[in-house]
Structure 1
Amino acid sequence: MRVSTSWTYQTAVYTMQNLQSSLSQSQSKLASGQKYLSPSENPAASVSLINFTQNIQITQQYQTNINAAKDKLQLADSTLNSAVNVLQSIQSLAMQSLNGINTPLNQQEIATQVDQLNQQLMNLANTQDASGDYIFSGTNTTTLPYTSTPNPNAPSADAQSTDPLGFTYNGNSSQASITIGPENRQVANGNPGDAVFGTLSSGPLTTGSISNVFQAVSQLANNLNNNTSTSASLTDITNALTRMETVQASVGARLQATNSQQNINAQTILDNQTTASSIGDLDYASAISQLDLQQTALQAAEQSFTKVQGLSLFQYIQ
């Protein structure tokens, strides 16, 4: 069999090109740290890596949602704690007002304090988070929850009367939720104002059966101003305080739930990352060894090609 000089050259060049391509691929893998540079190298592994990557991204979004929910819940918890403290002060004043030694002037002085505390309570009800959302507006987070305007028909003497201030709840009764885990696990990250501070009454107020805390406190102040304070007002305040503490306990429970899910999500991310790493990450020791072998093979091919180039009959023809 005759072997032409051109065929020898072509074979040698082809061999060196393949070795250079393999060497370049090994260098790229070492640079990227990836075992596979294209899906065609291992289609099954590539599909698995895509699935693991998607799982990690989805779970990381859950973690982002949890952080946002925790911020809102922690703010709600802090705000409710302050509101409970204010309401406890009002409760103490209501108890003080029942002391028989109080003069009408004393009652009016207590009423002034009660009104001021009621304004503090409303300010707390209108709390905004760092994004400017109102935390007690239900799902109407951009709407100021509570407003009040003087009632022109406010009574001057009748303690069992219409509300002396016109309170308005501008939010809704819906509770905002956010997804924090797989299978659509959600946590409520908001509290509608009417569930926290009580439903406003549009009709005559009867001391002892007033649901809304602002109306209850306002009625207490009105009774004090008219020197008609009764233990029924204390009942309204106590009921409002119980409701507020119940909501605060619910917020605390939801915070615990987010902490628990956050730990579960973190472990899920770690497990996916570990498995993905075992499939797609490069074994550097093996890759470097392979690179050394490829470099040696390429050098040998180049040297042999140089020698073959010198083998020609024309060199011996005189």
Structure 2
Amino acid sequence: MRIASTQYHSAMNAVLQDNNAKLAELGQQMSSGNRLNVPSDDPIASVRLLRLEREEAAIGQYLSNITALSTRLSLNEAHLDSISNDMMQMRDLLVWAADGSNTAADLQAMGSSLKSLRDSLVFSANVRDQEGRYLFSGTANGHAAIKRDVTTAVYSFGGNEDTIPVVVGHGVSQVSNTTLAQLPDMLNQLEALIVKLDDPALTAAAVGDDVRKTLGVLDSAHQMIGSKIAQQGGAQNIIKMMADNHSNVSLANQKNATDIGRLDYAEAFIKMNAYTLALQASQKAYGKVSQLTLFNVI
């Protein structure tokens, strides 16, 4: 069987080009340290890497959400704590006002202090974030949480009690907001007492029942605020645990991705030597055979 010179040269060129391509591929892998430069290098490993990258992207979003949520919960807790402090000072004044030895002037002074504390409490309840949204109005955060009718001096809740969930994990969400829908009842009771305390003819005995009633309503409202503060702290602990878990999973994913895509330099070096030797042998054989003619066999 005879092989045409053109056919022989084409076959040898194809072999040499294939070996050169493999050497170039190995050189690129060794220079980058990555075993997978294109998906065709190892399709199964490439799919695994894509899954890890997708999971890492999701974890990154969860951690970003957790950071923003932690800031919001801390802000909520700080203002709820301010409201709690105002209520405790109100309680001290109400306990003092319940003393039957107070004069009308004493009661008026207490009423004036209660007004200041009330205004401070309403300010904290109507606080906004940096984007101008009210913290304690539920999803209706474009409206003030506590509203006061200028005609009737009656307080009302201006928001709603809907929650705003934030996704912090796969199938896991955490509420980022809290509301103060129960606060207007306490403020209205307090407002009625302040009006009475402002009467210069008032006696301690005449206002005793109103003070004790207001004290009871205040204690209930303070308990509600304390419960909300505890909820914010509990939520902080939960998302911190979630963040730690996400970080651990991310670390494991990064290690797996490194193991899958990392080049084994010892194996690559052996392959490069084999391809180099094969290429050199092919080139020498090609050179020798190319010099042969029919006269060499006569």
* Alignment TM class, shorter chain as reference: 0.7 to 0.9
SS at match of 1:147: strand
Once the two structures are superposed, the pairs formed by residues 237-252 of structure 1 within 5 Å of their partners are 237-252=218-233
* Change beyond 3 A, Cα 1:96–1:292: farther
Partners in 2 of 1:45 and 1:314 — Cα distance?
A: 52
Partners in 1 of 2:197 and 2:169 — Cα distance?
A: 52
* Residue in structure 2 matched with residue 185 of structure 1 by the alignment: 172
AA in 2 matched with 1:220:
L
- Indicate the larger mover: 74-83 or 98-107: 98-107
8 A Cα contact 2:35 2:41, kept in partner: no
Structure 2 counterpart of 1:220, from 193, 197, 215: 193
* Residue in structure 1 matched with residue 249 of structure 2 by the alignment: 268
Once the two structures are superposed, the pairs formed by residues 116-195 of structure 1 within 5 Å of their partners are 116-151=116-151, 153=152, 165-182=153-170, 184-194=171-181
TM-score (norm 1): 0.79
User: Which whole-Å deviations, capped at 9, do the CAs of 1:190-240 have from their partners, x for residues lacking one?
Assistant: 10221xxx154xxxxxxxxxxx33223323322321333522211121111
Partners in 1 of 2:266 and 2:112 — Cα distance?
A: 79
* Residue in structure 2 matched with residue 235 of structure 1 by the alignment: 216
Partners in 1 of 2:15 and 2:264 — Cα distance?
A: 26
Q: Could you tell me how far 1:130 is from its partner in structure 2?
A: 3.8
User: Which whole-Å deviations, capped at 9, do the CAs of 1:47-103 have from their partners, x for residues lacking one?
Assistant: 322222222222222222211211111111111111111111111111122233322
8 A Cα contact 1:115 1:217, kept in partner: no
- The answer to whether structure 1 residue 257 and structure 2 residue 270 are counterparts is no
AA in 1 matched with 2:271:
Q
Partners in 2 of 1:132 and 1:292 — Cα distance?
A: 67
Partners in 2 of 1:78 and 1:287 — Cα distance?
A: 59
Unpaired runs of 5+ residues, structure 2, are: none
* Change beyond 3 A, Cα 1:312–1:300: closer
User: Which whole-Å deviations, capped at 9, do the CAs of 1:2-47 have from their partners, x for residues lacking one?
Assistant: 4544344323322221122112222333455432333334333333
* Residue in structure 2 matched with residue 18 of structure 1 by the alignment: 18
Q: Could you tell me how far 1:175 is from its partner in structure 2?
A: 1.6
Unpaired runs of 5+ residues, structure 1, are: 154-164, 201-211
Higher helix share: 2
Partners in 1 of 2:219 and 2:30 — Cα distance?
A: 70
8 A Cα contact 2:108 2:197, kept in partner: yes
TM-score (norm 2): 0.84
SS at match of 1:133: coil
Identity of aligned residues (%): 23
* Change beyond 3 A, Cα 1:27–1:134: farther
Partners in 2 of 1:96 and 1:40 — Cα distance?
A: 82
Partners in 1 of 2:245 and 2:69 — Cα distance?
A: 16
SS at match of 1:168: strand
Aligned length: 288
Partners in 2 of 1:289 and 1:133 — Cα distance?
A: 65
* Residue in structure 2 matched with residue 81 of structure 1 by the alignment: 81
Partners in 2 of 1:291 and 1:129 — Cα distance?
A: 62
Partners in 1 of 2:115 and 2:247 — Cα distance?
A: 48
